[in-house]
Structure 1
Amino acid sequence: MAWPWRRKSRRKLARIAIEGPIAGPTRERVLKALREVEEREFPALLLRIDSPGGTVGDSQEIHAAIKRLRAKGCRVVASFGNISASGGVYVGVAAEQIVANPGTITGSIGVILRGNNLSKLLERVGISFETVKSGLYKDILSPDRALTGDERELLQGLIDSSYGQFVAAVAEGRGLEEEQVRGFADGRVFSGAQAQELGLVDALGDEDTARRLAARLADLDEEKTLPVTFGKPQKRLANLIPGRALLGRLQEALNLELGWSGQPLWLYRP
């Protein structure tokens, strides 16, 4: 026999928000929230995405968890906010239906990998590296030198493999042919209206439009069923300090450049 709170959950709608870059802390928070939704047997989930994407592995883990939730019978509708690009799209296509605002920035399907070649700067300040390595490619993307031709070819193979995985997931999730997806999956971004024409989203509307759709799919009363939000980020008192939000965004941008340097990313980086 199901616990009483589980029976009540079957008459409610869950909501999880993915905001900002998709990386370690976001992955952990979202995966925990998805487990809670599964354990409490919610019939539907509203997935709000406002993200430029992030790391490949983290995006894939969230995508897989959403598909497992759907396999248990939960109806999942994604709502794209201001931006849902690259890894945000990858996560979104795991949903059954996608709703985007007409002006949502979406797309950017592809992979990017960047390193930092600081060799000229290091030479000017008199800094040089001494490297001992076990293999020819062990120090690939080292900041004290440029890539060799062989290294560039090796990394391109890595990017191509990751890109193929991305295209396959979009094709499967949206019911499109892979060649059809490759026709527009060249890193370009679209508005929500353009994405609908391409088959990337199902309908245009706001988060309430997506909420009503999720309720209908689960045979819930769309007029009365309000979502229960899981996985809210912890609020910190420091965020109330004037200028703290701007400082946080600058720190986030720095982390993208330094912390993710050398990693293949499903990330929109204008």
Structure 2
Amino acid sequence: MDNPAKDSGKKERRSFSRGFWWFLFILLALFAGSSLLGRFLGDGEFNGREKIALVEVTGVIMDSGDIVRQLSNYRRDAEIKAIVLRVDSPGGGVAPSQEIYEEVLRIRADKKPIYTSMGSMAASGGYYIACATDRIYANPGTLTGSIGVIMAFTNASELIGKIGIKPEVIKSGKYKDIGSPTRPMTKTERRYMQKVSDDVHNQFITAVAEGRGLDMKTARSLADGRVFTGKQAQGYKLVDDMGGLEETIQQLAKAVGIQGRPRVVVERPEKSLLEILLGANVSESLETSLWPTQLPRLLYLWLP
């Protein structure tokens, strides 16, 4: 005999399943639709206004490829009159920050104006990038500065000893396993790694001095890892003016002779469904949460 209650339960489950997939489909359709509207309407695709490009540097800087690609393309595009670099980052890896910095210098060498607009934070590697641009705008409450270098190591030798593991290392140079988690660092090794850190720190100080028109003594006095508010940074000549993104765009447009509001061209990165639903960069969150356990690397990064 048929069981009406059982059949009813199956129908409810099928109905719920169909409803869930329809909801997911509608969600994705709305997201895609809003992206297209933003591209065709928000950016003024058909209004004929002169263009300024907006390149966003957000989150921890661990890879420079996409940002350098955007900057390089806009540098070569004759229709792009100028570029705004929107920085909202605590910094990140030394090498990626330097690669972006070098591309900014190429833009300036090609005589294409590029301004920085600082968001809530533009510290360490974020500031390193900004100081290469023609002009820096910050909000009074922006956190910036943190001109310094950090390189962290984990020493797990006591834990390894307690669980009965005895590491064996064969190496061809006395410094080859500096920072190994299986043993404490020697004084000689620490002095050597401090020299490495100091060299990269000096590269940062030189970039700040050259970018901001400061003498090396003044730049060095500000390069002790401190963070500043945007207002404080302006007093130290690390920032030019107070203002948000809109003010930066307006002032840059005026500087390149654009009448009225320019058309702002911005490339939005594609996000995974998980990132869309959570409203966050999942890979970046994992990167920062797992950072202490990763292989040591030189970082222009503010770690409060």
* TM-score, length basis structure 2: 0.81
Task: Give the aligned partner of residue 251 of structure 1.
Answer: 286
Contact residue 10 and residue 43 of structure 1 kept, 8 A? no
Task: Give the aligned partner of residue 4 of structure 1.
Answer: none
Task: Give the aligned partner of residue 79 of structure 1.
Answer: 117
Task: Give the aligned partner of residue 38 of structure 1.
Answer: 75
Amino acid in structure 1 at the alignment position of 2:54: R
The SS at the match of 1:170 is helix
Structure 1 unaligned segments of length 5 or more: list them.
1-7
Amino acid in structure 2 at the alignment position of 1:16: V
Give the drift of 1:135. 0.6
1:262 aligns with 2:262: no
Pick from 243, 249, 256: which aligns with 1:218?
256
* Alpha-carbon spacing, 1:156–1:184, altered in 2? closer, same or farther (3 Å): same
Q: Deviations over 1:230-254 (max 9, x none)?
A: 3x32211112345x74865641223
Write the distance in 2 (CA, Å) between the matches of 1:255 and 1:131. 25
Pick from 219, 230, 245: which aligns with 1:207?
245
Write the distance in 2 (CA, Å) between the matches of 1:228 and 1:249. 25
Give the drift of 1:112. 0.6
Taking every aligned residue pair, what percent have the same amino acid on both sides? 39
Write the distance in 2 (CA, Å) between the matches of 1:257 and 1:225. 44
Amino acid in structure 1 at the alignment position of 2:141: G
Task: Give the aligned partner of residue 5 of structure 1.
Answer: none
Rg larger in structure: 2
Q: Structure 1 residue runs of 4+, over 3 Å off?
A: 244-250
Amino acid in structure 2 at the alignment position of 1:262: P
* TM-score, length basis structure 1: 0.90
Write the distance in 1 (CA, Å) between the matches of 2:224 and 2:263. 38
Contact residue 150 and residue 301 of structure 2 kept, 8 A? yes
Task: Give the aligned partner of residue 93 of structure 2.
Answer: 55
1:123 aligns with 2:175: no
The SS at the match of 2:182 is coil
- Give the aligned CA root-mean-square deviation in angstroms: 1.8
Contact residue 46 and residue 227 of structure 1 kept, 8 A? no
Contact residue 54 and residue 267 of structure 1 kept, 8 A? yes
Write the distance in 2 (CA, Å) between the matches of 1:179 and 1:116. 34
Question: After the TM superposition, which residues 139-218 of structure 1 pair with which residues of structure 2 at under 5 Å, given as runs?
Answer: 139-218=177-256
Write the distance in 2 (CA, Å) between the matches of 1:169 and 1:229. 27
Amino acid in structure 2 at the alignment position of 1:264: L
Which structure would you say has the larger RCO, counting Cα contacts within 8 Å and 6 or more residues apart? 1
Give the drift of 1:201. 0.4
Equivalenced residue count is 257
